[in-house]
Amino acid sequence: MSTSHPSPQDAEDAYYDAIDDQDLEAMMSVWEESDETLCLLPMMPAQRGTGAIRQCWEPFLQGDMKFDIEIKHLSWIESGEIAIHLVEERVKVPGQGEPQSVYASNIFRKGSEGWRLLMHQNSPTPPPPGLQMPEMG
């Protein structure tokens, strides 16, 4: 699939749409094709490179488990060809109780085909979930 993302936000939207649609090919088209990409999902080993990242997403996007993820934007940084977005993901698995919140940083890099995901990292939010940071200006 050849998809061009004109902004980091377009690439981020495509990432969460791919999860929502359980579309592995759409997910992989968001990622930069390189051995540098890094994916740290909750409680899973760090994965590096296109092959490893595809392998770690396969069971989530081709299985029966459906995720419903709501995103709250917390902060972003743009610096040259790199964009860093910090979001809070509220992840709900239907039939499995209350949504769980996790932080996610999504780092995008601009290449010849627009913006693509270079790194994704989840971290737990503290119990009780809360954020002590200034509102975005």
Q: Which residues bind a copy of itself (CB under 8 A)?
A: 35-36, 38, 40, 42-49, 52, 74-75, 77, 79-82, 84, 86, 103, 105, 107, 109, 118-119, 121-127, 130-134
Nearest residue to 15 (alpha-carbon basis) of 134, 127, 112, 104: 104
Nearest approach in angstroms of CB 8 to a copy of itself is: 13
Q: Closest distance between a copy of itself and the C-beta of residue 21, in Å?
A: 26
DSSP string covering 64-80, please?
S---EEEEEEEEEEEET
44 or 65: whose CB is closer to a copy of itself? Answer: 44
CA-closest candidate to residue 22, choices 50, 60, 69: 60
- Closer residue to a copy of itself in complex, CB, 23/88: 88
Which residue, 49 or 99, is less far from a copy of itself as judged by CB? 49
Q: Token match 């709501």: residue?
A: 70
Count of beta carbons in the 10 Å neighbourhood of residue 11 = 27
